[in-house]
Amino acid sequence: MTTDSSRSFPRARVKKVRERAAPDAISLAQTHNAARIRPLLEAAGFLTVGLDHPGICVIAATRNAEVIGVVAVETIVDCALMRSLFVTPSMRRRGIGTRLVAAARAAAVTRGARTLYTLADAAAAPFLARCGFGAADYRAALDELSGCPLADYLQTHRGPALAWKLDVSADGIINR
């Protein structure tokens, strides 16, 4: 009789199946590599201040290993700032922006936010309205977001013209 359990049972044969993403599939994932997305944002004229802050959540949309979209979330207690939302022009109107907002919204709620703010120029209004955002007071938004790197920077610097907000308090169950 042996006490070695590996000899008592036949080893199960497990076939390893590698899942490959379909060619041209678009995937979204959180990234710690701000250097990967910084050139895209800088080329598009975005402020990149605070992107290296340890508390920030950066989500990249990639296609064939190329970054084609990005969004980032800064959270302070129970409100969050969705920032750096950008989709490469040739990839727009395919739902990628909407997917990035959904990911940012989930990230904000996971981090305890009840209100999700964003700052944008008027051109983004139709898209943001479609995502459920409503107009907010710019100064009040910056005050509420005090402690978020980009919001603090914008207290004394020029940035996007308008503030928007979305109530995400019913998105998740976080007992306080």
Ligand X SMILES: CC(C)(COP(=O)(O)OP(=O)(O)OC[C@H]1O[C@@H](n2cnc3c(N)ncnc32)[C@H](O)[C@@H]1OP(=O)(O)O)[C@@H](O)C(=O)NCCC(=O)NCCS
Positions in the binding site for ligand X (CB under 6 A): 85-87, 92-98, 118, 120, 123-124, 126-127, 130
Indicate the residue among 127 and 153 with the shorter CB distance to ligand X. Answer: 127
Query: Residue 172 CB, nearest distance to ligand X (Å)?
Result: 22
Residue nearest to ligand X (CB): 97
- The partner residues of 134 in beta bridges, in order of sequence, read 165
Edge-to-edge strands, sheet with 26-31:
26-31, 57-63, 66-76, 79-87, 115-120, 162-167, 134-136
The backbone torsions φ and ψ at residue 124, rounded to the nearest 5 degrees and listed phi first, read -85, 0
Query: Residue 126 CB, nearest distance to ligand X (Å)?
Result: 4
With contact defined as beta carbons under 8 Å apart, do 58 and 34 qualify? yes
Query: Residue 12 CB, nearest distance to ligand X (Å)?
Result: 45
Indicate the residue among 13 and 128 with the shorter CB distance to ligand X. Answer: 128
Indicate the residue among 135 and 174 with the shorter CB distance to ligand X. Answer: 135
Query: Residue 96 CB, nearest distance to ligand X (Å)?
Result: 4
Both tokens assigned to 1: 């009789």
Indicate the residue among 32 and 94 with the shorter CB distance to ligand X. Answer: 94
Indicate the residue among 109 and 160 with the shorter CB distance to ligand X. Answer: 160
Query: Residue 84 CB, nearest distance to ligand X (Å)?
Result: 8
- The partner residues of 41 in beta bridges, in order of sequence, read none
